[in-house]
Amino acid sequence: VKVVETQENELLIEPRLRWAGNCNVNVALKLFSLKFNAQLLDLQIFLAPRITLKPLVPSFPCFSSISVSLVEKPYLDFGLKLLGADIMAIPVLYRFVQDKIASEISKLYHWPKDLEIKILDNASGATKKPVGILHVKVVRALNLLKMDILGKSDPYVKLSLSGERLPSKKTSVKMSNLNPEWNETFKLIVKDPRTQVLQLHLFDWEK
């Protein structure tokens, strides 16, 4: 990993990522009325990304967004079987498919093009420093709606504070229960008590 110092309010990291896995992924494909299976084997990926954390802020996670771009063309290697035949064993097709996929990825994300992921929303006040912790205890729910075919539900609760971009907290799932009891406690970081409100959402779990 190489860390680059700049004059900007940012942290720039350039890691070298190499991953090789003995994967075996089977996908059922349907083309018109024909059905057949495709099998992805032995995937290898070599990447040289440039990860920029900016701008740096004084509260967790200490940056507002992540920008990811590639400084080099990625390398991908994999086997692909259709109807049991390894089509990547054909040299011309093997080189064409690999180069085509790598070229398409480069078109999208090769520097200066990038993929930006927002972590904190400046407009919502999420970059403010934490001022306290809200303790929430989810006790129970009564007379829930029947959501499943057999007349039951599999409820769970998601908790969050408005204006917060971090993932919501979740209770456990109570299977086949219309009157669930959780008695589970959660801690939520408060940044603006005047504007933030507690949000509770009840969901029915599905596989």
Write the pLDDT tens digit of every residue in 110-119: 888 888 888 8
pLDDT at 127: 52
Q: Where are the alpha helices (DSSP H) in 65-156?
A: 91-109
pLDDT cut 70: percent of the chain above it: 96
76 and 111 co-located in one domain: yes
7 and 108 co-located in one domain: yes
Alpha carbon 45 to chain centroid distance? 19
100 and 7 co-located in one domain: yes
Identify the band that residue 125 occupies on the pLDDT scale cut at 50, 70 and 90.
Answer: very low
For the record, the structure tokens of 157 come out as 């609760």
Asked whether the predicted pLDDT for residue 83 surpasses 80, the reply is: no
167 and 190 co-located in one domain: yes
Asked whether the predicted pLDDT for residue 38 surpasses 90, the reply is: no
Domain end marker among 119, 144, 175: 119
Domain end marker among 119, 149, 170: 119
Q: In terms of residue numbers, what domain contains 189?
A: 123-204
Query: What CATH number corresponds to the domain at position 191?
Result: 2.60.40.150
160 and 96 co-located in one domain: no
C-alpha 197/C-alpha 207 separation (Å) is 30
pLDDT at 177: 92
Domain end marker among 69, 93, 119: 119
Identify the band that residue 142 occupies on the pLDDT scale cut at 50, 70 and 90.
Answer: very high
Residues in the chain: 207
C-alpha 23/C-alpha 17 separation (Å) is 18
91 and 127 co-located in one domain: no
User: Cα–Cα distances in Å, from 131 out to 46, 88, 154, 171?
Assistant: 43, 57, 35, 25
pLDDT at 178: 93
Residue 166, helix vs strand vs coil: coil
Is the pLDDT higher at 132 or at 124? Answer: 132
Q: What is the residue whose two structure tokens read 């998601």? A: 158
- Surface-to-core class of residue 142, CB atoms within 10 Å of its CB (0-12 exposed, 13-18 middle, 19+ buried): exposed
Is the pLDDT higher at 115 or at 126? Answer: 115
Total domains present in the chain: 2
Residue 195, helix vs strand vs coil: coil
pLDDT at 130: 78
